[in-house]
Amino acid sequence: MEHQSPKAILVVSFGTSYEASRKATIEKIEQDIADAFPDYRIYHAWTSKFIISVLKKRDGISIPTVCEAIEQMIHDGIRTLIVQPTHILDGIENNVMKEAVLSHKDSFDQIAFGAPLLATPDDETHAIAAVTSEFKNLKKTDALVLMGHGTTHQINTTYSELDRHFKSLGHSNVFIGTVEADPTIHDLVKEVTEFHPTAIYLTPFMIVAGDHAHHDMAGDSPDSWVGQFHVAGFEVCPVIKGLGEYTGIRAIFIDHIKKAISMLH
């Protein structure tokens, strides 16, 4: 019985209250990981206590926090632990998660962490391929605008690097901004206007298509990204689809787990 083996992969996500997006993204990532690593028991945890409590109250679904998942694994006799976040960057959320895991390190023989989605220039190249193949029917004159989350952590510069990386690979019609940091929607409107697109496609550069995608990006408010581009005189088509739905993005997480496993002694 392979599941008797005392080794596990803990998949850590921020979480989402949107059921359809959860099933199409987080649960799909977890399923792909389970399929790729049959010798490992798969556990999951979310880092947003707020979203965990929403699901519990509204849907009667219990999702563990990182510490609860670790306590369960200790109880189950897991000795080797691989932790794979579905976070985009190694920012505040990821660092807090690592601290929570490492506070239990004495209960395991070994622990290895898989990198978040964008840890190396190679990851960026793979992510760009995943996004551009998803939008392969985009005309050269259409603009694809990606909405990242953004963070106060210095790693936020990754978004600007990724924007340059898209353009260096010949995708001059792809633009990235963030909801909560730089580049802002105002920067984007200016940049996209200079590109003179025939149409604009807006999509989240986030694992799930949750509140930010539905409200900040595609909402009816004039402050939403759709609203801002409308004001600037553009035709806008929002595509509400999280990155977790892209096969190529899920493959990056699988690759990061393989690298983490190879680091174990």
Closest CA to 245 of 135, 112, 138, 108: 135
Task: Verify whether residue 149 is a known catalytic residue.
Answer: yes
The DSSP letter of residue 161 is H
Catalytic pick among 149, 165, 171, 256: 149
Distance of alpha carbon 12 from its chain centroid, rounded?
11
CB 85 within 8 A of CB 13: yes
First to last CA, the chain: 24
- pTM comes to 0.95
Dmax (CA) for the chain in angstroms is: 61
Q: What share of the chain is helix, strand, coil (3-state, %, to 5)?
A: 50, 15, 35
- The reply to whether omega before 183 is within 30° of 0 (cis) is yes
In the predicted model, residues of the chain with pLDDT beneath 50 are 1-3
Distance, in Å, from the CA atom of 130 to the CA atom of 178, rounded to the nearest integer, reads 19
CB 44 within 8 A of CB 30: yes
Per-residue confidence (pLDDT) for residue 4, from 0 to 100: 52
